Amino acid sequence: MLDPGENSDLPPIPSKRYFTIGEVSDLCGIKPHVLRYWEQEFPQLKPVKRRGNRRYYQRHEVQLIRQIRTLLYVDGFTISGARNKLDAETNGSTGASHVIRREFVAELIRELDEVVAMLRD
């Protein structure tokens, strides 16, 4: 199971609806060409394409990319292994949505801690 703390070195995801590939690259610490490759390898990753084939990722996709990043770079999974793990979580009793919710809650707690710290100053 993905530990939300594994992505603690990454900046919090801003509360907006769509993100460009450059923003996602910065938020996830992944180069844009790697993100485009992952789109081919992970069927769950389907950004919206608009004007001129520009990609726009939604928040849940940014969280999924962070999960993939952890599986590949921290847990040492291969692309195939990470894909199978995500499929198993999606179809299994734990569900990928629980992982994403847990990561969201951890991120929300970090953001609230920052707000509390700013209010104390």
Domains of the chain with CATH codes: 4-120 (1.10.1660.10)
Cα separation, 49 vs 57, in Å, equals: 9
Contact in structure between 94 and 86 (CB atoms under 8 Å): no
Cα separation, 102 vs 86, in Å, equals: 15
Tell me the per-residue pLDDT of 64-95, one tens digit each, with 9 for 90 and over.
999 999 999 999 999 999 998 888 876 764 55
Q: What are phi and psi of 3, to 5 degrees?
A: -90, 120
- Structural tokens at position 72: 């590949």
Say what the pLDDT of residue 31 is: 96
Cα separation, 99 vs 94, in Å, equals: 8
Q: Which one, of 18, 104, 98, lies nearest residue 59 by Cα?
A: 18
Q: Say yes or no to pLDDT of 2 above 50.
A: no
Stated pTM of the model = 0.68
Tell me the per-residue pLDDT of 32-60, one tens digit each, with 9 for 90 and over.
999 999 999 999 899 999 888 899 999 99
Q: Say yes or no to pLDDT of 4 above 50.
A: no
For the chain, helix (H) and strand (E) counts, in that order, are 5, 3
Cα separation, 83 vs 86, in Å, equals: 5
Say what the pLDDT of residue 6 is: 53
∠ Cα 103 108 113 (to 5°): 130
Query: What strands, in cross-sheet order, belong to the sheet with 54-58?
Result: 18-20, 54-58, 48-50
Q: Band of the pLDDT at 13, cuts 50, 70, 90?
A: confident
